[in-house]
Every structure is written in structure tokens, then in C-alpha cells.
Structure 1
């Protein structure tokens, strides 16, 4: 008997070849399509991942992209932060940030303490940016921009809140212009320097655009806060033409509402000599302007006036933010080095530059690099603290780092999982440190859960302890309360064990400062107003669930592929009896 008779057709059989090719072609087409989808949609996201050895469970995303803390007595939630290294000696003042992003339930301005505990937050409509403490007429105010964001800039106003968190000033530009989200600086002369974007008609043929096109011009205004009087104005188009930009036109410039953002002004500053400092992100320039509006010099970009003494670092910054004066000839800035969704191999950093103005020479005095080599594709800032340390906010990456003046990391804080920083699930345009005293005119909030009372007071910075007071049960029209327990304040929300005495009808909680004075009391409550225990209390495990689901799908896919392969092989090599076998069987013989 021929052996191949047991295996059906041999490999030279033409019909078998045709059937195999017909099966192979759709598989090949599907494979090409899958590879194309992977290359265009999955691969760019894989490059965004920042996995490396030594990542904690927090940074790997086991608690979510943006781990958050919920409260019993307060309806909002705040970030759970991770602080490193162990025993870090962070600046003990408050941190001011404005978290937003797809993983932020209620974006808005927020204050946290040195341990990452919430102090105050506000759920704002629209977008909130540039949140910080500023001084005006001898008083501290919280200032921030709030409005709508469109096409990379803002349309809104700046708000100044007093210690009771009440808006005292709402600032808008002079004329018919709208305030941009990037910056407001209150000067020692009690004026405000504002950043503004204005669409203007422009000839864009030099950058491949239309002759009758539209340009977003950067406008600096200094106004009197009380009267709104315009004191100074400077416009970017008077100095920088469209071809000075490093930003691609990308189809923009044909409509007024979709202008070419060629300059992208993102910070304005003024020193005690009256010189203005303007950062143009898309032209890679820092511009010094005198009080008459004359440009004194340009650092960086295509009109650079300086010789670089630091191998190109002092003038080669790219897509930068937050340029600030420090004395007559020193400036700091946040050097992004990267823009938008584009990634390169160079990390973002903070720079401290020293300028020799008569010689037009620039050099790096100090630089501040994140230990993980973060690439911040947008936003970011650098603040010089009065201790000499430097705070760098990493903008699009949810982290801020405190450095010594010499560039050593003192304290590194994450408020999002670092492996996913490049996805921008939680960001803050700037992060600032400062002192603040908050005395809200609201009442403290409480909630009774089980056998405990939870108490908090959004924005109160002077609470040292909480005292539980219960009604003596005698005169309901003129109620007298007695203190039964005193508990030291522990973070934003404090737990107070409730007495087991069934005779308690009403209770309240008093906030006490370090001097033993009563700052305020909650409303009167009854123990019958207890709420059910929140079993979901704690950090989310969304990323863990996604990982487990993906692993199950992968294992099932492997099992299915292997089982189908075995079945396919079995089908290909079935034993087939030939006619000769049948004849031999009938004769009772064997062909072997």
C-alpha cells in the first residue's frame, strides 16, 4: 500500500493548494489591517507608558490613574498623593493647584497641606487655571482664572478671593478683549498684568497659509485693578512675524475662531525697574520690553540676541513656560523641550539662567531635572521659594518636585500614577507653594456613620481640635450643651467616637484653635440622623480591573488559538482508507 493513501492528497495536489490560498488571503488581509490599526492607534499609546524598575503600586496604577480620597462629611473628593523619598522634608506651607482631566470628577482650585491632606477646594464650572496666593494692598488673596477653553487659549476672567473665600474682585481686560487662561501677575504697585489672545487678520503666505488669514496675537495689558484703566499694552505681532513660529500651521488660520496660534504667550512678569518679561512658547522666545513698549532684547528663537555659554542649553529651550525675573540679570523658566503629542528623548527641566546684558551672553546657573526624566508635553512652572529651594510643577504630568538650590531632590510628590503621566488623566497647569490663613464664613460639616461622628470644615486652616458637645436634656427652647469629648484635628476630616449613652437626643461639634478659642460650631443634629456605612469608601481599583480583564482575554485567546490549532492539525491528518485497503480486508490480507 502507498503510505500517502493514509493521509489523503499529497503536497503536490493542486486542489489542496487552491483551497489553502483561498483561506490564506483573508487571513493575510485581516493581519495587515490589524497591524495597521496597532501601528496607528495602539503603538503611540504604548510609547506613552513610563514603566521602569522600582515603581510602587501607586505609580503602577493599582489605585487608579488619579487615586482619590472620599469623605463622609464632605461631598467632594481630593487626590491621594505619594511623597518620596522616605522621610522627605517638604516645605511645610500649603500647596496650590487646580487639578483637571478625564480622571478628575470635579475640577477646580484646591489647597493641600505638606502631607497631601485637603485644606480647601471649590468645584468650578468650565476651566480653572493659574491658582496661587497674591498680595494686593497689604492683604493676601487667592487668585485664579476661570472660563471656557478653546483652541489652546481661554475666554474668561480672573477672580480674587479673600480669606473667607468670597470673591472680592473680578478682573477683565480693558476694551472688548477677553482674558486668557495663562497668567495674571499683581505688581507691587497694586496693578495687574494680564495675558490676552486676540484674533487679528494677517497675511499667512509666508508659512503656507492664506493671504487673508487669521492670527492669534499675544497681547500684554497692565491695568489698574480698582478702576480698570489701561496703563500699558504690548502686542506680539509688532515684533514677531508669523514665520518666527516653530508651530506648524496644521490647517489653521482660515477662520477667525481657528486662527494660527503662532506666538502662544503663556507668562508675563514685571520687575522693579519696570521691565516686562514675556514668554512666547511657539516662537521659543523670552522677550524683555521696557515701559515704553520697546523690545530691549530677545532670548532664544529665531531673533536670539545672546551668545550661549552653556553649549546651547541657555538659548536652546523649546516650548517653554513661566519665565520670571530674579534680580537684574537672572531669570528662571520651565523648559518643556516637547510640544503636544510629539515625544522626543529629551526630558523637561527647570532652568535658572544668568544673563550678561552688556555683552549679550547667557549661561545656565542651575538646572532642575526630575528623577524619572519626565517629558511634560504642556504646562508647567518653576517657583523660587524664600527658603532658597525651588519648586517645579510638571504641568501635564501630575507631579511637583521641591529641589535644593543646587538641584538635589528634597521632596517629590505625585498626585497621579507616574506610569501614565503622558496620558494627562490628571493635570495642573501650575503648582505653587505659599502661606495662607482661611476663615470660611460657612459652618463645619458633620456626618454620623455607625458609632462615629465625622467632621470637616472646608477651607478652615486654624482648627486645632474638635469638641463634641451634647444637650443636657433640660430646656429645649434655650438649649445648653456640655463638652463630652475633645479630639485633635487629624487631616481634613476627623473621626470622633460617639458616646454609647442612649439618652443623648441632640449634639453638635465645635472647632477650637490652638489658643482654645471657639472658631465655629456645626448645626445641631440628632443621633437618629446617622447615615449608612459607605462600603465603597477608599481608592478606586479601575486600572486593576482593566489589567485583570485584559489578562483573562489574553489567556482565553491563547487557549482558543492552541485548541483550534490542535483541531486543525487533527483534521488535516485523518486516516483515510483506500480502495486497496478495502480489497485487502475482504481477502483477509494486509498491505503492510
Structure 2
């Protein structure tokens, strides 16, 4: 080896080391490919991209687009109305959006244009929000509580027209109220559901002889006294093997009881008999109001009816919200799927029953143009005049209106439809109805610069806002206000420009009804005298942005300079090794 030859330790590698590196690389690649196939591809397949989707449904505004307000602390859904005809119901919409992409969950009222009317932010889960009549008075009713695996443990609440809680209803016994049903009957009683863990023999479905079920229970309760009027248990009438729900690892302990029935709605017919929807048995049953015996069952393994529609009237599955109507008509929401892996398309249904002849006929099916597959929740409502039908798509953040023969008239989304299968925005049910609200708190207002933003959460009769300035030289005279201008109410929050020629900096906003009568007055407001805190923060933010840009530019320039200097240094230090003897011979004599 010559004296100037260098050998680096990593210059040579054995074939064995090279092959080991290749094996590790190939193994890592296959592992990544496997993880991609197992975790990523199934999520991609769940996406519902279509050529007719707009920016909203493609998620460009977020999975659950929302509106923020200056005068109100919470955000409301920003809806997308993709179809709206003259025949659409102009009344209010009642829903309770929840999910990972909802800013603040809770019961909400929207107007026909999708503007917020009222909302209440609840920290716990809220479901089944609607208007119900009790003792000749309208109430907002909903369930609130904790939820686990599709069951609830909470209470039902009733708010009057001032949004004051008047009633809290709980089941009779050592139970928590379930989230699925709170229905006020024409007689003024409440039908509620309970999931009660109960020992049971599960050998018929491949389980232990001493196992556990969640028994489907409903109670009829006197609202005023809380007295139990009637109680019914599914386990006394539905065999365990009538279920379509797989046992899997459930049923071994009380905590993991087998939910074989899953009651999700209770109604009454003209005779006062009960109509029960059992999701996991794919059936709707009529129950004698006195004995509790099954009078008949539609659908599932216990079906009593001949299907006059080639199976289309009885082949519903995993259904919700069975309701009885006049002329022997039944409506329900056919989920048709229990998970994203199931095939089937969800639909609303109107079914005519000839109870005497035990014959079922499908009258109308209501389908969504995007071939919806809602794996949970949902409802069907026949609107007051009977000329329209509302379908709430539950797990899919949408509601639609149809003509009686199933023609789509109105379609509204409150979440990006391309991602409906992920359940990031849902509402258990959606309803239409009338409501008059008189909140007890005053209107809210916020002054920003030369504008004031005003809103009044829950006030349904406001049509205009009147700006009044303090017109007295006596500061102690708090009653002297003069009218400056009047503005039409626009949406939930109205933006009002403060006139430049308004002499006094103190003013207030008055809410007016259609006849010009005052309904409420804001607190006294003051026009900004200088730069507001928001404007100051805005200026500071711009200073920070400029500082970050300058710092980043300086850092990049420094890195560029260092790289250039390093290259120049390398070029100026090129050398060649020569034998030591040659270097000694080349030395100049002293």
C-alpha cells in the first residue's frame, strides 16, 4: 500500500450485508403496503365522491361547515340547500347535530333558509329534539345524557316558550332513561324507553346458558305525577333467536349484555295499543294496551303479514321510527344497513296494513338522489297537511321533503356528503314544525368599529331592529332615547352600520315585531372612541407576520451564504498527496 492511499471502513461491504439490507428494505416496503391496504384503502372506499357534488359536499368548507357570530358565543351549522321548490315546508326545522365536526352540539332550531333561530349548547349528548304538545301548550322536548354503544343513560326535558325547563322526566325504577324515545301521547302521558341488563339463556344464539341481555323495556308515565301507568318487556314476548344481531363477544357479563332487540321507537294507535320498532329483529309489533301481548308483527322472523308488494313492504332492516297514522298507514325509516360493510340503500317508507287480512302493501318509498346508506338513526314525518313527507337521514347529515308519491322537492345538507359514512356530523332525528319563542334575556349586541351586530337567541317574532340614540344632555337621564333609523332583520344576526352623523356615542337597539311593537331592548351600547382591542390585535398580528417573514428570509439567506462559502472553501483547499521524500527534495536550501 502506498503511503498516501486511504481506505475507508465503509468503502467495502460484504455480499451478506448487502443482501440483509435488501431483505430489510423489502420487508419494510411490504409492511407499509399491508398497513396501507388494511387501514387506508377501506377509508378511501368509504368516500362518496360523485361527479355532481359541489364544493360544499366535497368538504372544501369542512366536514361540518359552521357560521360564527359577533354577538353570539356559539356557532351554528352552515347548511347547503341543493334543491328547494315552492311546495317546501316554510316552517322551522328541529334537529340536534352532534359529531366530531360540530362546533357546539345541542338542540337547534333553523328557519327554512337554514338560518339559526335558537340553540342550546349541551355538554352531554342530545337527541330526539322536537316540538310536542302537552296540556294545550307547545314544548321543546329532548333527551340528554351519556351514551355508550348506541344506548343512553339520561333524562328527558321539556322547555316552555320562554326556554325555561318545566319538566324533567325519568323512568320509574332503578333505570337510566334511554336516548331513543320520548313520545307524548294524545292523552298527555309519556312513552319512554329503557335498556335493562337482565340474565338470559343465550344457547339458541351460540352463547352461554347463563348469559346477559339488554332487555328492551318501554314505560308509559304520567308526566305531572311521575306515576308508572304501564311497563312492557321484550324478553317476555321476543325469543332471543328472533334477532339478526350477531352475538360476537357480548352476553357473557352484565356490562357486555347482548342487545338482541334494540327498541328505538314507541307509538300508539287509535285504540291506544302500542306500536314498537325493534331494530335488531327487523320488526314492528303492535302490543295490547292491557295485556301486553303481541297482536301482530310486521317484518323479521316473526312476521305475520303477506307482502302484496313482492317483498318490498316487509324486507326493511335495521329500521327506525315506526309511526302509526290514520287509514291504517305505517311510516318508518328503513336503514337497510347496520354497518358500512352492509349492502343496501336507506329509504323512507309508507306502508298500508290490512290488519284483518294480515296483508302489507308498500305505498311509497322515499329515496335520496345520492343513494344514501345511513347505518343508524333516521326518521320519517308526515307533515301537517299530508301533502309532503319529511325524511331525516340520521347518520347522514341531511333532510329531504317529498311529495306523497315519492318525488323529491327539497334537499338540505348540514355536512359534507362525500364523508357521510364517517359519521362526523349526525342528527338522530329531524322534524318540521311551528314554534313561537319568547326568551327572557334581552337581545345581544356587539359593537365593532362603526358597526353593531345584534341577535336574539330564540326570539321568533322579531322582523326589524330600531337604532335609538341617547338624546339627552343629562347623563343621569337613562330614558331619553331618540329614533335614529330602522333596519330589517337579516338572518340570525343583523349587521347595522352606525350613522356617522349620530351625535351621541351612547345608543341601544330595540327589537320590533311585524306591527312595530317593541319586544326587547339591548343594554346601552357605546360607539368605539378609538382603535378597538380587536383592531389592535389585528395590527399586532400583521407585525408578527412581518417579523416571521423577515426572520425566515434572514435564515434562508444565512443558510444560502453558508453553503456558498463552504463550496468556495472546498475549491480553495484542493490538494494532492505526494511522497514525503519528494517533498523533502523540493525544499529550497537554507
The answer to whether structure 1 residue 96 and structure 2 residue 94 are counterparts is: yes
Give runs of aligned pairs for residues 104-503 of structure 1, distance below 5 A: 104-292=102-290, 293-344=292-343, 346-387=344-385, 388-479=387-478, 480-501=480-501, 503=503
Aligned to 1:75, which of 73, 76, 79? 73
Change in 2 beyond 3 A, CA 1:535/1:412: farther
Deviations 1:479-529 (A, max 9, x none): 211110100000000011112247423111000000110000001122238
Q: Secondary structure at the match of 2:436?
A: coil
Deviations 1:561-588 (A, max 9, x none): xxxxxxxxxxxxxxxxxxxxxxxxxxxx
Retained in 1: the 8 A contact 2:76–2:104?
no
Q: Distance in 2 between matches of 1:67 and 1:533?
A: 26
Retained in 1: the 8 A contact 2:96–2:106?
yes
- The equivalent of 2:525 in structure 1 is 525
Retained in 1: the 8 A contact 2:237–2:293?
no
Q: Distance in 2 between matches of 1:362 and 1:87?
A: 32
Cα RMSD after superposing both structures: 1.9
Q: Distance in 2 between matches of 1:86 and 1:159?
A: 33
Unaligned runs of 5+ in 2: 1-12, 539-590
How far the C-alpha of 1:267 sits from its partner, in A, is 0.4
How far the C-alpha of 1:228 sits from its partner, in A, is 1.0
Change in 2 beyond 3 A, CA 1:64/1:287: same
Change in 2 beyond 3 A, CA 1:285/1:236: same
Deviations 1:504-562 (A, max 9, x none): 231110000001100000011222386626999xxxxxxxxxxxxxxxxxxxxxxxxxx
How far the C-alpha of 1:390 sits from its partner, in A, is 0.4
Q: Distance in 1 between matches of 2:367 and 2:213?
A: 35
TM-score by length of 2: 0.85
Q: Distance in 2 between matches of 1:120 and 1:259?
A: 39
Deviations 1:382-428 (A, max 9, x none): 00002320000000100000111111110000000110011111110
How far the C-alpha of 1:50 sits from its partner, in A, is 0.3
How far the C-alpha of 1:48 sits from its partner, in A, is 1.1
Q: Distance in 2 between matches of 1:87 and 1:18?
A: 74
Q: Which moved more, 1:190-199 or 1:113-122?
A: 190-199
Retained in 2: the 8 A contact 1:473–1:505?
no
Retained in 2: the 8 A contact 1:450–1:531?
no
Retained in 1: the 8 A contact 2:449–2:527?
no
How far the C-alpha of 1:209 sits from its partner, in A, is 2.1
Q: Distance in 2 between matches of 1:437 and 1:391?
A: 21
Which stretches of structure 1, 4 residues or longer, exceed 6 Å deviation after superposition? Answer: 15-20
Retained in 2: the 8 A contact 1:202–1:212?
yes
Change in 2 beyond 3 A, CA 1:352/1:477: same
- The equivalent of 2:554 in structure 1 is none
Retained in 1: the 8 A contact 2:264–2:320?
yes
How far the C-alpha of 1:87 sits from its partner, in A, is 5.4
How far the C-alpha of 1:47 sits from its partner, in A, is 1.6
Q: Distance in 2 between matches of 1:117 and 1:86?
A: 15
- The equivalent of 1:552 in structure 2 is none
- The equivalent of 2:542 in structure 1 is none
Q: Secondary structure at the match of 1:124?
A: coil
Change in 2 beyond 3 A, CA 1:533/1:434: farther
Q: Distance in 1 between matches of 2:147 and 2:68?
A: 28
Deviations 1:60-84 (A, max 9, x none): 1110001100000001000111112
Unaligned runs of 5+ in 1: 1-14, 537-592
Retained in 2: the 8 A contact 1:448–1:531?
no
TM-score by length of 1: 0.85
Retained in 1: the 8 A contact 2:93–2:433?
yes
Q: Secondary structure at the match of 2:132?
A: strand
Q: Secondary structure at the match of 1:57?
A: coil
Q: Distance in 2 between matches of 1:37 and 1:73?
A: 48
